[in-house]
Homo-oligomer: A and B are copies of this chain.
């Protein structure tokens, strides 16, 4: 057969917008997925052709059953495969023969239960025949714009703006149930399963471009292709809000995830940092994932972080402010003259408070409206949150109109609103105004939307970045320690500042180098057998004279050969002693999941005990480096807390950018520690560099 290669995106588009679907394993037994799936497709109102396939023939739910794919009157756009796992390879070959471009394999029993052989077989068949696979080990797929419910449960009749992508059927049921109950609906429901071909990043790219989708929520147990995922997050980042719930964050959880989907879960700290880098909201539980998705798919993305809290009750307003402050949102004060204007408005019971949080102590909707219009006119806030704690008659109509008039985004929290709440909630959400159950839940979603907006605006100003990096497969798994005097030459190429230095094979030579550099100096052992020099007595500092250098040299030789039996000692590195100063650590790592990652922290106890470090995926943009520095809890120390002089943040940013540049251009670097790095008021200096590299594999 003639084959015209389609891109992954074209294939996903064709599969989700399929005009005809073969259901391989369709059944007349109502307890079987092969029956339930056909039923779902009918209940969902699918308008294309459904071709049930079963060797027994007959009819299912009024549809003619075909005995095999070859009997079909046309080539369907997709086949949904619902048969026992051992029959899947044969079915795929049949599909190939009639030229079906993509299959959705729901069947389980592949690598997740150790049958890697079966999984490899279907991948091979797919590659040889240019068939693309969604799954296996999933519940199916839903795309409401095409009324396609190729999944046995549940049927979502509402076409909404939210897309879900998950690794758990039960969790999906829960999320879709909530969306259904609220009348919100979804655009797409993607079950990821084993992702043997089309993976999370492919779907993300598709959904980013899909005009029916307003926001994407993901539940991930691991990431299939870390770098591809990063690239997708970056590309999607400017276009569409994304929220992620990462499972397997704990030690025990991680173990279960590994056995559950056989995927590798990276460190959650690294994962969270990468999400932050690309403006992705990190959910902390199922409910927050849903809340983020709901708000991000509806809310007009705010232009800034100023929140005006307007409540029917003071108590709710205070709680909203508490939550807002803990997420770094700003609660702008209302200037005195505007407070005066507000107080002049006509209120039935003028007992409220006109500072932010505004407590109107009213249930009259026109009073809320007047206040909001006046506040918006003075451009005091980017978001209005209305906290209703009683039934507010007419709130729906008023807010829908208000949203058309004001610059600020509008969100609502509604409690105890009884029938008024039940009536207005779906209407408001349909009009793009999210309604959350409590002030705190609403505020958290505002924080996510604000962050997305920040990243989106920053992204518009910078050019697009290529996150591709060297293929790890090209390198051997063996790590080799790079002696510091060699590492230092590499640093130099990337403008990474290191003290003036020289190599010396013996004590005399060391003195000569020291005299040239000027005292005081530091000397460090040079030996391929010693990577942690200080631990074995291989470093002596603050040597102020030739005599001290000689004594220091002898000491090092003594102690190192005592500590590391048979160590080959080539000499010492003599460095000019650096001034005292604040010490930080900069690290880099080729993460098994996400590729090159940069780390920053204050070093010592802060890094080892308090884990007060920040991460970003390389290559860093300038604002990534800035955020890394600001994100650590000890940041005030860098700014000069406790009467210390602050340090040169710009030089620190430059250094992070240079390290990022280096690890991207030198893919042989597997791990890097610059520790300590001294940061001064107007300068910066790397005092120690430890690099582990790996060799390129020989061509086979």
Contacts and interface: CB of A to CB of B under 8 A. Distances in A.
Interface of A: 108, 113, 154, 166-171, 173-174, 176-177, 219, 221, 245, 247-253, 255-257, 259-260, 284-287, 311-319, 321-326, 331, 351, 353, 355-357, 359, 387, 389-390, 415-416, 418, 437-441, 604-605, 608-610, 612, 633-634, 636-637, 641-642
A253 B325 contact: yes
A357 to B, nearest CB: 6
Given A260-B359, A418-B177, A636-B609, A313 B438 contact: no
B415 A170 contact: yes
A444 to B, nearest CB: 9
B325 A251 contact: yes
Given A285-B319, A321-B256, A642 B170 contact: no
Contacts of A316: 168, 170-171
9 contacts: A108-B351, A168-B389, A169-B313, A171-B316, A250-B322, A260-B314, A285-B438, A609-B633, A610-B610
A608 B642 contact: yes
B389 A171 contact: yes
A168 to B, nearest CB: 2
B441 A609 contact: no
A163 B260 CA distance: 42
Contacts of A173: 389-390, 415-416
A217 B280 CA distance: 35
Contacts of A256: 314, 317-318, 321, 353, 355, 357, 359
A353 B325 CA distance: 43
A322 B634 contact: no
A314 B261 CA distance: 9
A664 to B, nearest CB: 32
A252 B333 CA distance: 9
A316 B257 CA distance: 11
B331 A252 contact: yes
Contact of A441 (B249, B287, B441): B287
Among A108, A154, A167, A169, chain B packs the most CB atoms within 10 A around the CB of A169
Given A255-B355, A260-B359, A609-B641, 8 more contacts: A108-B351, A170-B416, A253-B321, A257-B318, A260-B315, A286-B415, A286-B440, A609-B633
Contacts of A255: 355
A321 B254 CA distance: 9
Contacts of A331: 252
B441 A170 contact: no
B437 A170 contact: no
Contact of A174 (B108, B167, B415, B604): B415
A317 to B, nearest CB: 7
Contact of A389 (B169, B389, B440, B633): B169
A415 to B, nearest CB: 3
Among A171, A323, A356, chain B packs the most CB atoms within 10 A around the CB of A171
Contacts of A612: 610
A161 B266 CA distance: 44
A173 B437 CA distance: 13
A604 B323 CA distance: 29
A252 B321 CA distance: 7
A323 B315 CA distance: 29
A634 B610 contact: yes
A170 B312 contact: yes
Contact of A318 (B260, B387, B637): B260
A315 B169 contact: yes
A78 B173 CA distance: 52
B287 A440 contact: yes
B633 A174 contact: no
Nearest to A319: B247
A355 to B, nearest CB: 7
Nearest to A642: B608
Nearest to A633: B610
Contacts of A176: 416
A604 B643 CA distance: 12
B608 A247 contact: no
A122 B668 CA distance: 81
A537 B166 CA distance: 63
Given A173-B415, A259-B353, A249 B609 contact: no
A248 B438 contact: no
Contacts of A637: 605, 609
A323 B317 CA distance: 29
A612 B324 CA distance: 22
Contacts of A415: 170-171, 173-174, 177, 286
Nearest to A108: B351
A389 B248 contact: no
A390 B314 CA distance: 40
Contact of A313 (B171, B221, B318, B636): B171
Given A173-B390, A314-B260, A285 B325 contact: no
B641 A247 contact: no
Contacts of A318: 221, 247-248, 253, 256-257, 260
Contacts of A284: 440
A287 B170 contact: no
Contacts of A641: 605, 608-609
Contacts of A604: 642
B324 A250 contact: yes
Contacts of A359: 256, 260
Among A176, A256, A318, A387, chain B packs the most CB atoms within 10 A around the CB of A318
Contacts of A315: 166-171, 219, 221, 247, 260
Contacts of A311: 170
Contacts of A416: 154, 170, 173-174, 176-177
A384 B639 CA distance: 49
A198 to B, nearest CB: 20
A418 to B, nearest CB: 7
Contacts of A245: 319
A286 B252 contact: no
Among A252, A315, A612, chain B packs the most CB atoms within 10 A around the CB of A315
A249 B322 CA distance: 6
Contacts of A252: 321, 325, 331, 356-357
